[in-house]
Amino acid sequence: MSAGDIIQTNDIESLYSGHHGWLQGWLRRKLGCDEQAADLAQDTFMRLFGRRALTLDQPRALLTHIAKGLVIDHWRRQEVERAYLEALANMPEPHAPSAETRYLILESLYRIEAMLRGMPDKTREVFLRAQMDGLTYAEIAEESGMALITVKRHMKAGFVACMAALA
Amino acid sequence: MSTVLPPLDRALLEEAADLLMRLQSGEHPQAAEQAIAQWRQRSDRHEYAWQCAERVIHSFRQVPREIGRTTLSRLPQSERRRVLQMLGIAAVAGPLGLALWREQPWAEWSADLQTATGEQRTYTLADGTRLVLNTASAVNVSFDGTQRHLHLLRGEIMVTTGDDSLRRPFRVSSADGSIRPIGTRYAVRLEHGATHVAVFEGAVEITTRHGRSLRLAAGEQLRFSADVLESTHALDANAGLWERGMLLAQDMRLADWVAEIGRYRRGVLRCSGSIAELRVAGAFPLTDTEAALDMLTKTRPVRVRRLSNYWVSLDTAT
């Protein structure tokens, strides 16, 4: 790694002092919440510093680029949480998992949503029949009228998309 | 910082997927386990890829089937659409005729000022100009030594221009052209493929992107696109009431009412064709669209059907 590949400590300090306030203000406008803005501003800088080979000609453009990704994640998580709570509320039988179980389920749901995002509809459905509903590939083939090899093709594409989303 | 993760190429992920499927098939489980153990040892990248594979399986195992299915079924419509909306990317215009967002996606995202759906905000700019952003709107502000410039990316704004001590020219622009105020209060709104201007005080001068221009006086409104200036109409006296959070309807088509109220709500609000031509009258709160819907069902033969909070449709009351 050459010296140009990493940010020097004094760069970090000047970046932080020069742009942190501005970034937090920008995030506050997006989120309408001081506390969340402060958290995400912090995360943004952590990610920035974790990067290699940075060009720092336009630090604010890079900061907003990173921060946007974090804001989108933040909103997506809110959507998933909302859907989960609605699902819980709509279960036919009263369903009150412990706080810890809820946390684990929610974390998994965030990941699942991220993995399924962008998956073509057919692949997604085949994949969910297997992973969520527990059907065998043969059962999916029979149910859907697809050839077994087609089901397998969708499964493979599904797994690849999932791993790529997590990597 | 933590170690930088090795990049995973597609070939590697496909190999891992094959192994996952072999494991899942349940045939010869021991041989599958053995093959996986060997594969993982081939390099750090293989090991890392397999850790990802295990997280995939693990994530699905954590979630009870019913809960998972219900949660996911509640996501795609609103979630996908909302993410698109947040990114300002033009949603594919489906049968519902979802609004199309023009302009560059990221530009809108990083707009200087913006409001969420259902939100209104008032700003006082450096020169004393009063700027009100209506629901789901985004504006870039650039003031420098020689000019004052607002660029409307989405939604609607009401501008009451201030008296600038530096006498810098003031301009509002959209994708369709620009508007130069002459001591004035006016609203600019982006519609499908056009910009709508309404002047409440003073006058404005409109120049379309292709160079046509026209002066619009107080009490007048018009639509224009990059190359067409439509004809001028008298301003509806109630047009500016959104600034005070109110929609005043007089003999308004229900379909138009739904389109207007829908601007202030997240998700989809629609009405069935059979009641589209019903007439609506009354003052409805824009700040609380649930109350507005409630008022509507009390005064008109209309029923609210909720497929979810994000998908509401109006139908004939039976």
The answer to whether B234 contacts chain A (CB < 8 Å) is no
Residues of B in contact with A109 (CB under 8 A): 63, 68, 71
Task: Give the least confident one: A45-49, B63-67, B175-179, B256-260.
Answer: A45-49
The answer to whether B55 contacts chain A (CB < 8 Å) is yes
Q: Give me the residues paired with residue B305 across strands.
A: B313
- Contact: B17, A163; criterion CB under 8 Å: yes
Interface A-B: count of C-beta contacts within 8 A: 131
Residue-level pLDDT at A160:
93
- Contact: A132, B10; criterion CB under 8 Å: no
Residue B205 pLDDT class (50, 70, 90 cuts): very high
Residue-level pLDDT at A56:
58
| Both tokens assigned to B92 | 């594919």
Query: Terminal CA-to-CA distance of chain A, rounded, Å?
Result: 23
- Contact: A91, B79; criterion CB under 8 Å: no
- Contact: A109, B55; criterion CB under 8 Å: no
Tell me, what amino acid is at B106?
Answer: W
Cα–Cα distance for residue pair B118/B120, rounded to 1 Å: 7
Residues of B in contact with A50 (CB under 8 A): 1-2
| Both tokens assigned to B218 | 């107080």
The answer to whether B182 contacts chain A (CB < 8 Å) is no
Higher-pLDDT residue of A6, B238? B238
The answer to whether B307 contacts chain A (CB < 8 Å) is no
Residues B75-100: tens digit of each pLDDT: 754 444 444 444 333 233 222 222 22
Question: Which of B62, B84, B121, B123 to substitute to test the interface with A, most A CBs within 10 Å?
Answer: B62
pLDDT at A158 over 90: yes
- Contact: B70, A111; criterion CB under 8 Å: no
Cα–Cα distance for residue pair B68/B55, rounded to 1 Å: 16
Contact between residue B49 and residue A163 where contact means Cβ atoms under 8 Å apart: yes
Residues B268-312: tens digit of each pLDDT: 888 888 889 999 888 888 878 888 898 888 888 898 988 776 778
CA distance A159 to chain B (A): 6
Residues of A in contact with B139 (CB under 8 A): none
- Contact: A76, B79; criterion CB under 8 Å: yes
Task: Name the residue facing B83 among A76, A134, A152 (closest C-beta).
Answer: A76
Cα–Cα distance for residue pair B216/B185, rounded to 1 Å: 12
- Tell me the residue length of chain A: 167
The structure tokens 């021991």 sit at B30
pLDDT at B224 over 90: yes
Q: Provide the whole-model pTM.
A: 0.46
Nearest CA in chain A to B46: A167
Residue-level pLDDT at B273:
85
pLDDT at B35 over 90: yes
Radius of gyration of chain A (CA): 21
Contact between residue B129 and residue B141 where contact means Cβ atoms under 8 Å apart: no
Highest mean pLDDT among A41-50, A97-106, B224-233: B224-233
Task: Give the least confident one: A21-25, B11-15, B50-54, B206-210.
Answer: A21-25
Residue-level pLDDT at A12:
64
List helix spans (H) across chain B. Answer: 10-25, 29-40, 44-62, 65-74, 76-87, 105-109, 254-262, 289-299
Residue-level pLDDT at B104:
31
Residue B3 Cα distances to A47, A50, A51, A56, B53, angstroms: 13, 9, 11, 22, 20
Residue B103 — left, alpha, or beta (φ > 0 → left; ψ -120 to 50 → alpha)? left
| Both tokens assigned to B117 | 């759906």
The Cα angle at residue B226 between residues B221 and B229, in degrees rounded to 5: 35
The structure tokens 């790529």 sit at A164
Higher-pLDDT residue of B107, B60? B60
